A and B are shown apart, each in its own frame.
Chain A
Amino acid sequence: MSEDAITHTGSPAPSTGRALMLLALAVGLIALPFLVQALGQPALVPLATRVLIYAIAAASLNLALGFGGMVSFGHAAFFGVGGYVVGILYRTYVDDGLFLGLIPGTSQLLITLPAAILIGGLLALTIGALCLRTSGVQFIMITLAFAQMLFFLFVSLKAYGGDDGMTIRRRNELFGLNTRDDITFYFICLTVAALVFLALWRIIGSRFGMVLAGIRQNERRMAAIGIAPYRYKLAAFVISGMGTGLAGALMANYLRFVSPDMLHWTKSGELMIMVILGGVGTLLGPLFGAAALVILETVLTSWTEHWQLILGPILLLVVLFTQGGLNGLFNRLGIGRSER
């Protein structure tokens, strides 16, 4: 990841090459469900849905990790809590009760998603406010610590299934659409993902994004010109948490299930790997990274039970021989824009 990569990513006027690539990507994503149906591979639609959801989470993490220089090893906390927002609201709705004696349940996607964003943001505000007092390796570990605390909390919460998790019998509703239908749900996720990526693009290109990049490159210099790095970093961390919470809520809907598995530290690691694999600090990198990891795992598990023995070396080769992940690789192969 070179420093100029950051500044260019956010440039408001994309080159024609890049615009063409984006257009191709958009057309491809919209046509995908119909294409795979025609090819007789309907199970690829849910797979693509999973990729999109992870892409939202990874792109949100990338805002903190790649653009803000905050290596969070605890983003599973936001992902899982976003999922539990959906789960708990649904359970409360089914039981016709009140959560904490105050909040009625719901199964409306238009309420559960904003709720997950809100809770994710609040959680990130709390965790970020404390964790940002440290930096470097300590920051990595303290974010992990908070995520682990939440993991153990949800494991011991018997009311919400504990370690076994809770089943959400029906997906959340949206405008009377049949969300249970794979293609419908795919397009819901695609819309949300498009909005998230658009928002991230705007954020990165804004003054806020510039300041954030400046802090990442040289915190002391930014402080010297009168910018308080802490507030900017915290804001980025909160936005990152909101996006990840949103992804968690979609994942809970997709799986129709939440469990502490979503909060485990390995999930934080997986999200991080998607970002690194795709390309740290690039806008679309996390999408490629999520797609690569999810698809590789799926293909390899269907191929052999010793899939880890193939996935491991592939990841290793990617780190050792590509700089800047898949996005960097594409760039060097001359696909898309030239930024280096």
Chain B
Amino acid sequence: MQNRKSVCLGLMLAAAVALPALAQQAPVKIGMVTTLSGPGGYLGQDIRDAFKLAIDMNGGKLGGAPVELVVEDDALKPGQGKQIAEKMLKTDGIKIMTGIVFSNVAGATVPDIVDAGALYVSPNAAPSNFAGKECNENYFVVSWQNDSLHESAGQHATNLGYKKAFILAPNYQAGKDALAGFKRLFKGEIVGEVYTRLDQTDFAPEMAQIRSANPDVVFQFHPGGLGIAFLRQYQQAGLLGKTPMVLAEPSLDATTLKAVGDAALGLSVTAHWNTDFDNASNKAFVEAFTKAYNRVPTYYASQGYDTALAIASALKATGGKADVPALRKALAKADFQSVRGAFKFGPNQHPVQDWYALKVEKGADGTPVLKTSGKVLSNHSDAYAKDCKL
């Protein structure tokens, strides 16, 4: 008697749980492995917040399909990122993954994701090895290929007519790629090439070297906190205003700009996106982001948002089904309104896009802002696409 009662109760409960699930489509799960702790935490936070914003703006849906975003912190540890991805893929059966900020986490995590037959859409990191020979049909990059950031800076320095450049970057892979990328499109002479240390915070010796080399222009790549320190010390050394500087967007995003303040006035930055881009998608994004989070979106945020839009376009095409081959086909068309304007994928599923010159100027309220001043490169792809056989 007792037994039967509980069975009945169980059935009723099961029905109660199952019915609403049947009535409304089960949400598509999207896994996000990103960096939320440590000095690089604000990058992951912006990507996540913008991605969430895109979902919230569409009433909890992407491309008409209800979605559930699962976010976990990789703490900038490759092993932890991989572990999280394994769990998302195997236990939760997630088919769409995104979120990784740093190249070394991507190096450990992305091969597992694509090998498991899931889709990875990168909102930031895009190391060169996945762009060329090792490209994969399940791997898409919405942001840029790492080198493009610095190639655009090199082109911009050439356009501005500088002849002698002093270039600096931290002594690690991304730093070396940055200097190589800059040199690829810079036509002038390199009068000094300095590798700083990854854990270096005091740049006084480098400032002295720059002053003594007396270049036309300085190009430096120091992301996040390193960049803040570099720019402050550049100003304090009296170089700001004397020697112009060209840099790529990782060295001066909206967050570091806020922390640096007036020490950034007059700098030239190259970027694929800026808050003032005049298109409907961007206006909606910047307004909603500022309202929701009470801060200016960084370009990381724009990439997180674009990634969400790209995934939305694919889900729309498949009618909300997490069917990887169909999603892949739809995604490759890049049928969405990117906040950066024109956007399409190249043969290696990395972006083909325009690069712009920005200038740091005083904004309406007196704080420095980034203003777009012109185009540097059009329909720019990357040097690795030709090695990719998809």
Contacts and interface: CB of A to CB of B under 8 A. Distances in A.
A–B direct touch, CB within 8 Å, in complex?
yes
A158 B129 CA distance: 13
B73 interface: yes
A126 interface: no
Given A41-B91, A47-B83, A155-B198, A259 B172 contact: no
Interface residues of B, number: 35
B71 A43 contact: no
Contacts of A308: 37
B83 A46 contact: yes
A255 B105 CA distance: 11
Interface of B is mostly: helix
A47 to B, nearest CB: 6
A167 B80 CA distance: 16
Contacts of B112: 256
B111 A43 contact: no
Given A42-B91, A43-B90, A50-B83, A259 B107 contact: yes
Given A43-B90, A167-B107, A307 B73 contact: yes
Interface residues of A, number: 33
A219 interface: no
Contacts of A40: 91
A40 B75 CA distance: 27
Contacts of A166: 107
Given A50-B83, A158-B176, A301-B73, A165 B91 contact: no
B104 A163 contact: yes
B304 to A, nearest CB: 15
B86 A156 contact: no
A158 B73 CA distance: 28
A158 B79 CA distance: 21
A42 B104 contact: no
Interface of A: 40-44, 46-47, 50, 152, 155-156, 158, 161-167, 169, 251, 255-257, 259, 261, 297-298, 301-302, 305, 307-308
27 contacts: A43-B87, A43-B89, A46-B83, A46-B86, A47-B86, A152-B197, A156-B171, A162-B172, A163-B103, A163-B173, A163-B198, A164-B104, A164-B174, A165-B78, A165-B104, A165-B107, A165-B108, A167-B129, A169-B134, A251-B79, A259-B78, A259-B108, A298-B83, A302-B84, A305-B37, A305-B71, A307-B73
Interface of B: 36-37, 71-73, 75, 77-80, 82-84, 86-87, 89-91, 103-104, 107-108, 111-112, 127, 129, 134, 171-174, 176, 195, 197-198
